[in-house]
Chain A
Amino acid sequence: MITSIAWKNVWRNRTRSLTVIAAVTVGVFAGVFAMAAINSSIVQRIDAAVNEELSHIQVNNPGFRGSCDIANVIADPEKVGSVLEETPGVTHVTARIIVRGIASTSAGSAGVEITGIDVEKEQQMFAVKQRLIPGTGSYFGTDTRLNSAFIGEKLAKELYIIRYILTEESFTTLEAEDVPEEVVGKLRPLENQRFTTEKKLSEACSGLLTEKEVKTYGMKIKEAAWSYREGSKVILTFLDANGTQTGAAFRISGIFRTNNDFFEAFSVFVPRDELLRLTGMEEGQYHRIIARLEDDDLTDNASASVKEALPGLEVMNWKQIQTDLAMIADYINQIYGIFMVLILAALAFGIVNTMLMAVLERTRELGMLSAIGMNRRRVFSMIMLESIFLSIVGGFAGMAVSAIVIAITNHTGINLVKYSEGLEAFGYSAHLYPTIGADFFIMLTVMIVITGIVSAIYPARKALQLNPVEALRGE
């Protein structure tokens, strides 16, 4: 009966209750959606780090990571392989050869890390293949000849393998992407001119277009002008097992695009056998053995158990390799809590105000309830329940709106291309796909109920302080 009265009391003054509920709805939505957006950025970054760059567990010769010396190979790779394969949760294991060197073309050069990979296994473990830019190759496909390399877009730009040319095809593409004919017409004088960098293309466009047109269509123009010459070559130079400088020309078998500029600029993947041959290393010698787990949550336990089984080697999981990422993930979790507490605390003041008005308006009724035998505990519960109902209705509405908007934006994405340079320099995507776990909604529900309870304390105490005789005499 008390619950029923409390619920009905919530709707006595519909306008007032709906105003508070709307405030709670908007507050909860703002908090949840903001966190989902921030969370997506971290989740996407971690996902990329694990799926494209690091995997879950890496085992190295203890001296290798610091020196990158070709001689620092893993002493007993077979044992390492079997330990990893027997570790619960491990789904894939592969071994890499890694050398530092220089990548160069006739137009430019850059320092790189050349990784010799088992192409078949790496395809199963990593998603880099999915990052292949269409039209740039086939990621070590069957048509690939010997000495092939898979490189990042950033490195390709530094080596001037990628250029920008506005061809007739580019103009057709721009028109298909709703760039006004007038703008396309202004760009005609640049037809078939080659620009070696994005910057040079932008400068040329700025001379022909207005500032607003550059801002609006600049990205589409760059994409339309993006040009790659199939079959381009790159010279990779490095020290072999004897410390002698060696190298070879590698045909580009594909260019990948990720959200991590550093990874794109520094990584060159080549078939392991080719690198083994060129370095003069012996068959079965590896610098790094990598394991993939079926679930991210197994990382800590699995890496600890591998570490225990391989005492003489350096065993690290992705959190230990990219400590900043792990720290940000933890930090964001804490920020979640603080952020929501602040939002709910602000909303609590609104609820206190509403409940206090409700109590003061109902002085006579509360006096009557006390007179006819409704004890303090029941009066307190009634006010408490009213407050909780207000919070929960608003909270659930806010969570429902958040869930819908998150589902939509998770599908469509949020485009932050304007900030892509800055974001990708730190490895973060310029396209956010908001996401948040079910556990967060459970935690939020608990927090909303607590808000309702805390908000009710003062008004409920006021109700308890009423003297029935005075309250009945009131009004």
Chain B
Amino acid sequence: MKVVEINDVFKTYHDTEVEVKAVNGVTLSFERGDFAVIVGPSGSGKTTLLNLIGGLDQPTAGEIIVAGHRLSELKPSELIDFRMEHVGFVFQSYNLIPVLTASENVGFIMSLQKWPKEKRIARTDEMLQSVGLADRHKSRPAQLSGGQQQRVAVARALAPRPEFILADEPTANLDTKSAETLLDIMEKLNREEEMTFIFSTHDARVVKRARRVITLEDGKVVSDERTNHNS
């Protein structure tokens, strides 16, 4: 089942007098349960493509359909609701809410979605358990290591059961051990919850685990390979 369809999408920036085609005619689709990475050199358009899929940005041309929604037809306010309902984000810099505890951070999107309190608490506990931080539920981000913060960010993204997770360089700031632990958790959640993960990364550790590797160069897909790696 297709979760994301990208049809001949362009994204052009006008930097003073120069026209920059960050995404240049990309056509792709992602299936439920994909564990895909988008790789490519800096400036190849990875993050821009991720932003377009996540509804953070609008394409200059082309069409992106996510869970039946044509993103170009949504108003800015509808795009925010769309992101809340359908997309889970994991950022390079964790981006947790510093004044909230790990538990409150995980439950934050669910509270925006107005989940009943009991269900929200149960799901939060379940997710913290899954990422191995049940004992740190009362800790604030500043009291957690980088790896632990990123695990909380993954739990936050997954907790409301979005259509897919967009992870932009999620391991870039992590040491090897933390990165491996995080990837183990993501693989497990991909397997157990059949959650679709789309990564943008330079990190070979992530590429090694991916079941699909899409390579971008100058905004174009130059390869889209399915690997034999079996998580």
Contact = CB atoms under 8 A, between A and B. Distances in A.
B99 A372 contact: no
Contacts of B89: 368, 371-372
A373 B159 CA distance: 14
B83 interface: yes
Contact of A371 (B56, B111, B113): B56
17 contacts: A5-B97, A12-B99, A364-B95, A365-B97, A365-B98, A371-B56, A371-B83, A372-B109, A372-B156, A373-B85, A373-B113, A375-B80, A375-B84, A376-B77, A469-B57, A472-B56, A472-B91
Nearest to B99: A8
Contacts of B93: 364, 475
A378 interface: yes
B108 interface: yes
B83 A9 contact: no
A468 B112 contact: no
Interface of A: 1, 5, 8-9, 11-12, 364-365, 368-376, 378, 468-469, 472, 475
Interface of B: 51, 54, 56-57, 77, 80-81, 83-85, 89, 91, 93, 95, 97-100, 104, 108-109, 111-113, 156-157
Given A371-B56, A468-B56, A469-B56, A376 B97 contact: no
A376 B80 contact: yes
Which of B84, B99, B109, B157 counts the most A-chain CB atoms under 10 A from its CB?
Answer: B99
A465 to B, nearest CB: 12
Q: Which 3 A-B pairs have the closest CB atoms?
A: A373-B84, A8-B99, A368-B95
Contacts of A372: 83-84, 89, 108-109, 156-157
A424 to B, nearest CB: 58
A373 B57 contact: no
Contacts of B99: 5, 8-9, 11-12
Given A9-B99, A373-B85, A469-B51, A368 B80 contact: no
A371 B54 contact: yes
Given A375-B77, A375-B81, A468-B56, 4 more contacts: A11-B99, A365-B95, A469-B51, A475-B93
Contact of A370 (B80, B91, B100): B80
A369 B156 CA distance: 12
Contacts of B54: 371
Contacts of B100: 5, 8
B189 to A, nearest CB: 18
Contacts of A378: 112
